[in-house]
């Protein structure tokens, strides 16, 4: 069998197999049960003491959200100040300057919301100091923030009737010390051994074999690459992310990095199942997500390995598939798999240029982000699915004439209003943004944003807002996006796309938690069945996917049909 396809199958199988035990471990961490990383406990106590956190203090959902939003506001100030001033700060051997205020605004927001849309290029737009203490720091703490939110939601769902949903600061700390840091260390060590740089020396200039001068950028790459993958961050160290041969040196590191994208979002689904003691429900949710992901992978892999029909028409040999924007050591199959993995989660790192992938692959990447809950970002992905579950419960309840209940709690008008707003916000942000920018680009074609004409040009803009609202961070990078218009408009989409859903979802969970527990009876709508899973899937397709169909028809579908 083709070794490229074998590589794809290996990654898929490894992910499914590893996510289950990891999910069990994560549930234990948030429950405070014994794990083999208990030697971290003294470190955590030290952190609580230094920060003035009282680990036993329980918060209600409003206090929980207040803590979450405050720390995010603080991170915003932290990031803005450091990025604008980076030129004067230490660890800057290449003498890179500070970022402009609008670029710093976009960069800070995008890392603060765990998105990592990058309108700068890593080699010249940052210093080693900001790479570590803005980029890497945010990649840890904002991923932890999403996980902490989910931990609060889990705690709310498992309790019979409760006012409190746990301590935000404790969840935040434990997400770093027990989950993100140990895993990143493991992945980082494997990367370093395989030749990903990890040093603090500046650029090197060498004379090539033919006698030209070549500059080689390096730095503390491995520290950022491992957490960018594991925390569904995606912000690369180098401009071209994981297609860069120093960031992703060989087939093994590619498999490792690609699996790191999906492992935590997948494990989170199981973790919820273990935590709320509903493993069957978790298995059905996992099944729906895996099904949607796998269909996308099959289509995209066959498209990319099949090659670009326009190149075929030129009469040359295209045995390796569509190779524009792809690397030989990775190959077209693994590039297609990565494209799907990075968009079903809100990761957004790339190992090939999505702008140059075939139109249907590009469409599926956008669709994954537009739906944004096939695994999704760490923590927040499951919560997006949870919103759809609430809607599906409500709709099916109405259809069969039963009171809509989820996990023994009645779903009522207030929760439904929040869920509906959260779900509709996403298409609103994307379509309005893409609409305004297309109007501007059509009226002023001389503005020079687009790298490609016609349908694909529209796709470039649609992709950018989709990626921003979904907090993904990948892009059709041909778009000239480091301008005030794009920096600010996507910055707004980023903020709305992150905090609106988190606040809404934690609120729903908090509201449900405070309600009276209704024991299951024969009249309860069962949520851990095939029928209900199918129902949820259909709701997601109708609500999320179909909102975008007209836009997709004008972009990638028209692009596909015109070749």
Partner 1 sequence: MKNLWISLKFTLVMCVVLTIGYVLILRLTAAVASPNDGEAPMVELNGKIVGAANVGQQFTDDRYFWGRPSAVDYNGGASGGSNKGTNNPEYLAEVEARIEVFLEAHPYLERKDVPAEMVTASGSGLDPDISPRGAEVQIRRVAEARGMSEDQVRKIVEKTIQKPWLGLFGTYKVNVLKLNIALDEAQKLAIE
Please provide the size of the chain in residues.
563
123 is a site residue for partner 1 (CB under 8 A): yes
462 is a site residue for partner 1 (CB under 8 A): no
Tell me how many degrees the CA angle 120-123-124 measures, rounded to the nearest 5. Answer: 65
H helix or E strand, kind and range, residue 303: helix 279-306
What is the pairing mode between strands 213-216 and 204-207? antiparallel
Closest by alpha carbon to 420, among 408, 412, 431, 409? 412
Question: Stretches 157-165, 236-244, 366-374, 489-497: which one binds partner 1 (CB under 8 A)?
Answer: 236-244
17 is a site residue for partner 1 (CB under 8 A): no
Alpha carbon 250 to chain centroid, angstroms: 24
320 is a site residue for partner 1 (CB under 8 A): yes
* 214 vs 403, beta carbon nearer partner 1: 214
Three-class secondary structure of residue 451 per DSSP: coil
Which residues, at least 6 apart from 176, have a Cβ–Cβ distance to it below 8 Å?
A: 140, 141, 144
Closest by alpha carbon to 109, among 147, 159, 75, 68? 75
Closest by alpha carbon to 345, among 263, 403, 427? 263
Q: How far apart are CA 494 and CA 537, in angstroms?
A: 26
Between the CA of residue 371 and those of 364, 388, 539, 545, what are the distances in Å?
10, 10, 11, 6
Tell which one of 21, 32, 195, 523 touches partner 1 (CB under 8 A). Answer: 195
Site string for partner 1, 71-110 (x = CB under 8 A): x-xxx--x--------------------------------
Tell which one of 42, 95, 206, 401 touches partner 1 (CB under 8 A). Answer: 206
Q: How far apart are CA 163 and CA 154, in angstroms?
A: 14
Residue ranges in 257-316 that form contacts with partner 1 under rule CB under 8 A: 307-308, 310-311, 314-316
Residue ranges in 141-170 that form contacts with partner 1 under rule CB under 8 A: 141, 169
- Report yes or no: 121 and 217 within 8 Å, Cβ to Cβ: no
Question: Stretches 105-113, 209-217, 283-291, 363-371: which one binds partner 1 (CB under 8 A)?
Answer: 209-217
413 is a site residue for partner 1 (CB under 8 A): no
Residue ranges in 323-342 that form contacts with partner 1 under rule CB under 8 A: 323-331, 334-335
55 is a site residue for partner 1 (CB under 8 A): no
Q: How far apart are CA 386 and CA 468, in angstroms?
A: 21
6 is a site residue for partner 1 (CB under 8 A): yes
Smallest distance, Å, CB 15 to partner 1?
14
Question: Stretches 320-328, 369-377, 464-472, 522-530: which one binds partner 1 (CB under 8 A)?
Answer: 320-328
Q: How far apart are CA 321 and CA 332, in angstroms?
A: 6
Tell which one of 81, 93, 252, 291 touches partner 1 (CB under 8 A). Answer: 252
Beta bridge partners of 204: 216
If 0-12 CB within 10 Å is exposed, 13-18 middle and 19+ buried, where does residue 521 land? exposed
- What tokens were used for 61? 């959902």
Tell which one of 207, 516, 519, 522 touches partner 1 (CB under 8 A). Answer: 207
Considering CB under 8 A, how many residues would be counted as binding partner 1?
120
* 23 vs 197, beta carbon nearer partner 1: 197
Smallest distance, Å, CB 227 to partner 1?
8
- What tokens were used for 33? 């049960």
Residue ranges in 175-194 that form contacts with partner 1 under rule CB under 8 A: 176-177, 181, 184-185, 188-189, 192-193
Question: Stretches 244-252, 287-295, 366-374, 408-416: which one binds partner 1 (CB under 8 A)?
Answer: 244-252
Tell which one of 37, 91, 198, 299 touches partner 1 (CB under 8 A). Answer: 198
Smallest distance, Å, CB 50 to partner 1?
5
Tell which one of 255, 276, 288, 364 touches partner 1 (CB under 8 A). Answer: 255
């Amino acid at each position: 069998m083709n070794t490229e396809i074998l590589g794809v199958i290996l990654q898929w199988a490894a992910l499914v197999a590893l996510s289950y035990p990891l999910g069990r471990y994560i549930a234990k961490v948030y429950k405070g049960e014994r794990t083999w990383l208990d030697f971290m406990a003294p470190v955590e106590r030290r952190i609580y003491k230094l920060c003035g956190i009282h680990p036993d203090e329980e918060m209600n959902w409003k206090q929980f959200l207040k803590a979450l939003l405050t720390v995010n506001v603080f991170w915003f100030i932290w990031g803005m100040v450091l990025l604008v001033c980076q030129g004067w700060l230490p660890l800057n051997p290449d003498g890179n300057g500070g970022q402009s205020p609008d670029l710093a605004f976009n960069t800070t927001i995008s890392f603060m919301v765990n998105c990592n849309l990058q309108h700068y290029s890593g080699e010249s737009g940052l210093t080693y100091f900001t790479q570590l203490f803005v980029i890497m720091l945010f990649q840890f703490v904002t991923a932890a923030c999403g996980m902490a939110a989910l931990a609060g939601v889990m705690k709310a769902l498992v309790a019979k009737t409760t006012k409190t949903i746990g301590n935000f600061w404790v969840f935040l700390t434990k997400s770093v010390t027990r989950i993100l840091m140990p895993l990143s260390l493991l992945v980082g060590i494997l990367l370093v051994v395989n030749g990903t740089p990890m040093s603090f020396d500046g650029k090197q200039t060498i004379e090539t074999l033919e006698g030209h001068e070549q500059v080689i950028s390096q730095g503390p790459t491995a520290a950022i690459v491992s957490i960018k993958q594991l925390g569904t961050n995606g912000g690369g160290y180098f401009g071209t992310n994981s297609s860069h041969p120093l960031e992703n040196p060989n087939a093994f590191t590619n498999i490792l990095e690609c699996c790191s994208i999906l492992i935590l979002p997948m494990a989170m689904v199981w973790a919820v199942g273990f935590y709320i003691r509903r493993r069957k429900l978790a298995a059905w949710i996992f099944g729906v997500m895996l099904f949607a992901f796998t269909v996308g992978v099959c289509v995209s892999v066959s498209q990319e390995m099949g090659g670009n029909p326009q190149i075929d028409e030129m009469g040359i040999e295209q045995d390796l598939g569509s190779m524009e924007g792809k690397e030989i050591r990775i190959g077209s199959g693994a590039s297609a798999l990565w494209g799907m993995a990075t968009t079903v989660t809100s990761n957004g790192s790339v190992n090939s240029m999505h702008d140059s992938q075939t139109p249907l692959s590009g469409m599926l990447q956008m669709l994954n982000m537009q739906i944004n809950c096939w695994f999704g970002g760490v923590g927040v992905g499951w919560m997006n699915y949870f919103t759809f579950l609430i809607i599906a419960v409500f709709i099916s309840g109405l259809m069969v004439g039963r009171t809509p209940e989820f996990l023994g709690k009645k779903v009522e008008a207030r929760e439904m209003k929040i869920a509906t707003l959260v779900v509709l916000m996403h298409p609103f942000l994307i379509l309005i943004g893409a609409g305004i920018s297309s109007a501007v680009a059509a009226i002023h074609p001389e503005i020079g944003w687009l790298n490609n004409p016609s349908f694909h040009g529209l796709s470039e803009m649609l992709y950018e807002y989709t990626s921003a609202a979904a907090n993904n961070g990948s892009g059709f990078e041909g778009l000239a996006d480091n301008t005030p218009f794009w920096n600010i408009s996507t910055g707004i989409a980023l903020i709305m796309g992150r905090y609106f859903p988190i606040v809404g979802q934690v609120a729903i969970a908090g509201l449900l938690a405070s309600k009276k527990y209704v024991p299951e009876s024969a009249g309860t709508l069962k949520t851990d069945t095939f029928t209900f899973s199918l129902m949820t899937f259909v709701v997601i397709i109708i609500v999320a996917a179909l909102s975008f169909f007209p836009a997709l028809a004008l972009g990638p579908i028209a692009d596909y049909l015109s070749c």
